Amino acid sequence: MIKKGTLLRHVLCWIIFISYELTFIHFSVGTLGRLTNFVVFYTLNITLFYVNAHILLHFAFFKTSKPYLTAIGLTIIELPLYLIIKYSIDCVIADPAHPIAGHIPLNDLYAVTNIWRGIYFIGLSIAYWSMLYMIRFKDRNHEMEIEQLKSRAKTLELENKYMSVENAYLQNQISPHLLFNSLSFIHNEVYKVSADAGNSVSRLSDLMRYSLVSADETMTVSLSQETAQLENLIELCRMRFREQFFLRFKRKGKISDVKIMPLVLVTLVENVMKHGDMGDKKHPAHISLELEGNRLIFETRNLKRNTNLYAKGGLGLRNIEKRLSNYYQGRYKFLIHDEDDLFAVNLTIDL
């Protein structure tokens, strides 16, 4: 659709052009013909102008493989058609009562004069189309330059982010290395005094190492590795609470043959250790891990502490839900049962 501003500019240009031609005719010939004639013929010539520019030239240069030959061929066809239409209109205007050809002599002078007039407007049309093409070409180049600059800026931004992440990663390598060395030293010293305390430090070191460097390039670990850390975590809590720790951990299935996203099961057990009440011998906490083929069924059930720290929809559970959704989309079920005194989680994953 033509914009209003563009339409007004075209109308203004035609007004100036027609005024120039009529003024030239007036001073050259000394008289002007009927207004109806000028309206009809300028309408015909302006139509020729736009048809040539927006239909013929557009088709020749954007729809064909040989634009110049096609444009020349279409122009050769266009001129006789223009002459026929012009002659028919002349006959109608010359004798409205008998609108048939033959009232105006169709001689060489008439043909040359009108074909030259058609060539004149076609030439103006070609100049107009060339200007539009140059503007379009310039705008397209400008858009391409902008896109290239945006692409380059995005590349530089990604490179900067990569360098920042790489630097952060390299810096973070220092802290775990120092931490594990320190824990190793503490274990060696504490073990001399208390074997239980030394074992606790050792299990804690294993858990932290697993949390930092557990996953391989597929972002998974062996289910047996995850299970080993569950046992580490359970034993740490057992050492802490001693006789006031009642928990049953049941395993079933061959867990060494499958892989799982790390720290999902560990986080669920950690929530049990952190928020569950495991001091009631009659109602011990339960953790169940079962593997049926490639389907993992993991359940936890425990009494809730009176402090009610195990709030429904906690941050740890939301993070697990998000990680499961990203990695096991459509292949898992994660159900939470939150009652007055009991909290249970049921997780099923098709590995």
Asked whether residue 187 is domain-assigned, the answer is no
Residues 134 and 212 in one domain: no
Q: List the CATH number of the domain containing 283.
A: 3.30.565.10
Asked whether residue 4 is domain-assigned, the answer is no
Window from 141-145, 198-202, 331-335 with minimum mean pLDDT: 198-202
Asked whether residue 11 is domain-assigned, the answer is no
**Rounded CA gap, 348 and 351, in Å?**
9
Residues 115 and 207 in one domain: no
Residues 255 and 330 in one domain: yes
- Backbone dihedral angles phi then psi of residue 245, each to the nearest 5 degrees: -125, 115
Domain stops at, among 152, 170, 204: 152
Record the pTM: 0.48
Over the stretch 79-104, which tens digit does the pLDDT of each residue have? Answer: 999 988 988 888 877 655 544 444 66
Strand (E) or helix (H) holding 250? strand 247-252
Residues 307 and 217 in one domain: yes
Place of tokens 């088709």: 59
- Percentage of the chain exceeding pLDDT 90: 16
Domain stops at, among 152, 185, 203: 152
Place of tokens 């389907």: 295
The answer to whether 319 and 327 have CB atoms below 8 angstroms apart is no
Asked whether residue 283 is domain-assigned, the answer is yes
Asked whether residue 2 is domain-assigned, the answer is no
Number of domains in the chain: 2
**Of 191-195, 207-211, 291-295, where does the model show the most confidence?**
291-295
210 or 61, greater pLDDT: 61
In the prediction, which pLDDT does 166 show?
A: 56
Window from 172-186, 187-201, 282-296, 315-329 with minimum mean pLDDT: 172-186
CA distances from 250 to 64, 170, 222, 263, 337 (A): 75, 40, 18, 19, 20
Asked whether residue 74 is domain-assigned, the answer is yes
Is the torsion defined by CA of 18, 23, 28, 30 positive or negative? positive
Residues 202 and 317 in one domain: yes
Residues 198 and 285 in one domain: yes
Res. 309: pLDDT tops 50: no
Asked whether residue 25 is domain-assigned, the answer is no
Domain of 231, in residue numbers = 194-350
Asked whether residue 300 is domain-assigned, the answer is yes
Residues 203 and 288 in one domain: yes
Window from 88-97, 324-333, 340-349 with minimum mean pLDDT: 88-97
Over the stretch 132-148, which tens digit does the pLDDT of each residue have? Answer: 888 888 888 888 888 88
Residues 113 and 253 in one domain: no
Q: How far is CA 254 from the centre of its chain?
A: 42
Domain stops at, among 120, 152, 184: 152
85 burial via Cβ count (<10 Å: 0-12, 13-18, 19+): middle
- Which residue intervals of 30-107 are DSSP H helices? 35-51, 58-62, 67-94
Residues 209 and 98 in one domain: no
Residues 118 and 231 in one domain: no
Residue 21 has which token pair?
A: 């031609």
In the prediction, which pLDDT does 100 show?
A: 47
Res. 31: pLDDT tops 50: yes
Residues 146 and 198 in one domain: no
Helix 315-327 to helix 264-275 angle (10° resolution) is 170
Residues 114 and 218 in one domain: no
